Amino acid sequence: MKKVNMMRMACLFLLFFAGMAAACARGLGYDLRKGYGEDYTAPDGSLVTHAVQREFPMEGEPLYNVRVNGAYVGLYNDRNKRGALVHFGSFEFLNGHLMTIQISYHEAIRTYEILPERELNLIKVEQTSKNSICITLSEANQNITLVVNGELQREVLHLFCNSIDQNRPNVPDRTGYHCYKEQKLHYFGPGHYDLKALTGDSRLMIEDGWKVYLDAGAVVSGQMAMFGTSKGTKLHGRGMLYTTERKLVFEANRSTGGDIEGILLHGHRESCWQVAVTLTQNFETYDVKILSVRYASTDGLDVVCSQYCIFVNTFIRANDDAVAIKGIKDGPPCSHLTFCKMQLWNDCNTGFGIGAGNETSLYEDIRLLNSQILYSYDDPDYHEVLDERAALTICCLNGAYYRQILFENIDVYHCERLVALGFQPTFWFGAIKGDQTRPGGISDVTFRNVSSPNNSGSKIANKIRLYGWKRDDGTPEKWTEKVRFWNVTIEGRKLQSTNDAAFSETEWERVREVSVE
């Protein structure tokens, strides 16, 4: 009997897969109305989709349709500096269940690129008509970026394929907003919420030991913050927190612990940092999405004078630094920071940047591991002009020491300058003044298993700029030294020595002990 049941299950799976394959083969036609999605839950609970909340201030009509196993996903959007609509949406499914994702575009798809290609675990990707593609997968918590017709600065789609949360809190009412004091829980069910209208304040302060849960389909307008919290304080769920104000979407400040898991944080329309972790220890993020496409100063994640923090499987898109590690005057070191399985996209400045606002004196033991730079562009108005910008950057404005920095297993899909490490007198044409009167140096930096396969065609494409500091103004000399490039490949060729053309911007007078293996 057991053998017969297993055979039946295998047959059902094959029939289901064949049905999905047939659906894919037909392609998906574009219908503007379908871009707003639908609220749907599969009979077996394996899939959940959500319609766009009508109160959300869309910037235009959806230019994509996304259908998963027959149900449409609601797509939100915001307008970037180029005037294009960047789309994003999410759905939830049970890990291990086969999902067929059909995507249609309002125009012909001449070429397409799925990012990050090497990292994603997809079963199949194929173009099914002149304006549609089909993706099959069964692994959840993957973030898929679709670039159509090579237009990285136009109508890109970010699709977040979330797991159904198995740790969703047990509450008596899953509709609306509830504050459950006995559980120390703020719960937001599916729907749209304005924090100011709901609580009288557009920012919700998460008290120590409390949790905030944004259920799948919840869209909350406002900001949230943790001040002085300890471990056990948490913001999580599968919903979205966004703001249309010039304020941080979320911050953790002067805390000894806190976590974010699963949610989407979105800075909409306004230009402002999105997420900041300041003077904080033991903060962690998992499966979080951070997204703003407005220009500029929309840093995705700023980590300021913090220690022992971990960021895992975090998607960040910003129109400034995607990740910026900074310091404040007389602040403690930025140290023991680990970023793993990051997906970073910056339309301006740097993908992963250490320094710039660096008034603290030490940056130590900082690691970017097993991550992808999807796209890194220097500046839309001053392209190729600003020499401190790169996908992977240390930019020191104020004398400080940088040591034990590791970039390992990094795929850079599209960038301008690849690496820049060094010291600057000012930033942004003198608007931000530096102070190199303090001592400093950059030492013990490793780039291991880094690849950048594409060339943008610019004069700074894939360049590696290393530079120190020497001026006739009495400021201390500073060296960039002990920099290692191990198994670094650019446009398919492995770096063999510092004579490679990639190092043509390096200023060797204050650079030493650079090894290439």
C-beta of residue 73 within 8 angstroms of C-beta of residue 91 = yes
435 assigned to some structural domain: yes
58 and 207 inside one domain: no
In 3D space, the residue among 310, 390, 298 whose CA is nearest the CA of residue 352 turns out to be 390
Structure confidence at residue 17 as a pLDDT band (50, 70, 90): low
Q: Name the residue with higher pLDDT: 271 or 310.
A: 310
DSSP reduced 3-state for 153: coil
Structure tokens that stand for 143 in this block: 């973030």
Both 210 and 289 in a single domain?
Answer: yes
Q: Could you read off the pLDDT of 24-72 as tens digits, one per residue?
A: 868 999 999 999 999 999 999 999 999 999 999 999 999 999 999 999 9
Same domain, 400 and 336: yes
| Strand, helix or coil for residue 355 | strand
Is 242 found in the same domain as 103? no
Range of the domain at 130: 31-163
Residue 138, domain member (yes or no): yes
pLDDT digits over 392-435, tens only?
999 999 999 999 999 999 999 999 999 999 999 998 898 888 99
Query: Both 216 and 321 in a single domain?
Result: yes
Amino acid at 471: R
Rounded to whole angstroms, the Cα distance separating 274 from 429 reads 24
Report the domain count for the chain. 2
Give the 3-state secondary structure of residue 198.
Answer: helix
pLDDT band at 274 (very low <50, low <70, confident <90, very high): very high
Residue 170 in any domain: the answer is no
Q: How far apart are CA 469 and CA 400, in angstroms?
A: 12
Q: What is the CATH number of the domain that holds 273?
A: 2.160.20.10
**Is 391 in contact with 350 (CB distance < 8 Å)?**
yes
Prediction pTM value: 0.95
Does pLDDT of 130 surpass 90? Answer: yes
**In which band, very low, low, confident or very high, does the pLDDT at 87 lie, cut at 50, 70 and 90?**
very high
Closest C-alpha to 61, from 79, 44, 48: 79
pLDDT in tens, 344-377: 999 999 999 998 777 888 999 999 999 999 999 9
Whether residues 139 and 198 fall in one domain: no
Same domain, 66 and 140: yes
**Is residue 317 situated within a structural domain?**
yes
Task: Give 3-state DSSP helix, strand, coil % of the chain, rounded to 5.
Answer: 10, 45, 45
Strand ranges in 377-463 using DSSP code E only, listed in sequence order: 392-396, 401-412, 419-423, 426-427, 432-433, 441-452
Mean pLDDT (whole number) for 173-182: 96
- Residue 12: pLDDT band (50, 70, 90) is very low
Residue 335, pLDDT > 50, answer yes
Same domain as 310, residue 264: yes
pLDDT at position 357 is: 74
Cα→Cα distances 271→274, 327, 479, Å:
9, 21, 35
C-alpha span between 233 and 308 (Å, rounded):
16
pLDDT bin (cut points 50, 70, 90) of residue 102 is very high
Boundary-marking domain end, from 113, 137, 163: 163
Structure tokens at 89: 């949406």
Residue where a domain terminates, one of 128, 163, 198: 163
DSSP per-residue string spanning 308-321? EEEEES-EEEESS-
343 and 231 share one domain = yes
